[in-house]
């Protein structure tokens, strides 16, 4: 099987494991001064530019980014951001309300915005190596397949179902899920991502084991137990695991658990709940392992997430 086909099969497998659900939050167009965002709801989200142009503002991350028709922005995590008509973020005052799509109206920007929901726990580990967001450009040759999908989304949006008083076509959310496949493919090909969890998922020997670790981090996983799952001796398992992953099985399991724990803390779960979810009977032992891995105590990490959420809510 060619490597590209195998990668696509793995991505398909991963997306099935994520139990991805896509919803369309709103669809229409803006004119004048406006601001659009899907941030502040503790969910992954997306923006599709159906027509017109706008600017993406992600505070303290990078300079404003101009978006054109056919561009898409996928936020894998809840990141403070907004779209607006001006390069200066402070000039994007939310004065105009979203109107029905009508690309004939000069100066308008058509958008489809919505959310992604993933299986709790599993998504935290599978998506942890990825950046917080990705911009898919309409003219990028590496994602040519998205052009046809985008044309279908625009056709559905302009079919009349997205007009005032009408329900948007449910097909739009399904087409966005297909777009997300290209997002994962693009990210999985990156060098910084390829060094983490994903080589294990590409491995015929270890992929099923890794998904078991992700699905059930609370189980008592020993090196011997993991070796048994892949039908290897302990010595052979440790040698092959390190060759593929670059880490020992114990170090990989610790990192995986702490990545899941960090995302659960971001979602405002209690320290006790998170400790139990990732296999620790003692909060003290979990806190020590978390601090060793992340450099922060679980309580401080959780409070920081709450402060960031509150700060963004006030700014909005």
Span 154-180, pLDDT tens digits: 888 887 644 555 677 888 888 988 888
Residue 125: band (very low, low, confident or very high) from pLDDT cuts 50, 70, 90 = low
**According to CATH, where is 1.10.10.60 located in the chain?**
198-315
Query: For 51-79, what is each residue's pLDDT tens digit?
Result: 999 999 999 888 999 999 999 999 998 99
Give the torsion sign (CA, 77, 215, 282, 247): negative
Beta strands in 91-178 (DSSP E): 109-117, 133-136
The CATH superfamily label for domain 3-192 reads Jelly Rolls (2.60.120.10)
- Which CATH architecture describes the domain 198-315? Orthogonal Bundle (1.10)
**260, two tokens:** 């899941």
Query: For 202-240, what is each residue's pLDDT tens digit?
Result: 788 898 898 888 889 999 999 999 999 999 999 999 999
Task: Count Cβ neighbours within 10 Å for each residue of 20-56 and write b for 16 or more, e otherwise.
Answer: bebebbebbbbbeebbbbbbeeebbbbbbbbbbebbb
Q: Phi first, then psi: what are they for 66, rounded to 5°?
A: -80, 130
Tell me the C-alpha distance between 277 and 263, whole Å.
12
Tell me the C-alpha distance between 168 and 172, whole Å.
8
Q: Are 19 and 127 in contact (CB under 8 A)?
A: no
**According to CATH, where is 2.60.120.10 located in the chain?**
3-192
**206, two tokens:** 């270890």
């Amino acid at each position: 099987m060619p490597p590209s086909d195998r990668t696509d099969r793995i991505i398909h497998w991963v997306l099935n494991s994520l139990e991805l659900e896509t919803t369309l939050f709103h669809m229409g167009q803006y004119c004048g001064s406006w601001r659009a965002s899907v941030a502040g709801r503790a969910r992954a989200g997306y923006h599709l530019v159906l027509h017109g142009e706008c600017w993406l503002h992600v505070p303290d991350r990078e300079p404003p980014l101009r978006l054109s028709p056919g561009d898409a922005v996928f936020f894998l995590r809840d990141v403070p951001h907004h779209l607006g008509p001006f390069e200066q973020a402070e000039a994007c005052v939310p004065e105009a309300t979203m109107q029905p799509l009508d690309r004939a109206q000069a100066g308008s920007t058509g958008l489809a915005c919505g959310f992604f929901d993933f299986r709790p726990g599993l998504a935290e580990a599978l998506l942890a190596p990825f950046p917080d967001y990705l911009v898919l450009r309409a003219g990028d040759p590496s994602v040519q397949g998205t052009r046809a999908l985008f044309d279908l989304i625009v056709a559905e949006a302009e079919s009349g179902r997205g007009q005032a008083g009408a329900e948007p076509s449910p097909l739009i959310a399904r087409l966005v899920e297909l777009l997300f496949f290209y997002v994962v493919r693009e990210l999985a090909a990156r060098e910084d991502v390829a060094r983490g969890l994903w080589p294990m998922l590409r491995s015929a020997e270890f992929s099923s084991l890794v998904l078991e670790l992700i699905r059930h981090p609370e189980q008592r996983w020993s090196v011997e137990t993991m070796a048994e799952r892949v039908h290897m001796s302990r010595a052979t398992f440790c040698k092959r695991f390190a060759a593929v992953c670059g880490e020992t099985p114990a170090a990989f399991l610790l990192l995986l658990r702490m990545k899941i724990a960090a995302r659960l803390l971001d979602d405002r779960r209690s320290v006790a709940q998170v400790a139990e979810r990732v296999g620790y009977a003692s909060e003290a032992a979990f806190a020590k392992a978390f601090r060793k891995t992340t450099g922060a105590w679980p309580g401080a990490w959780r409070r920081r997430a709450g402060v960031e959420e509150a700060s963004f809510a006030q700014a909005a």
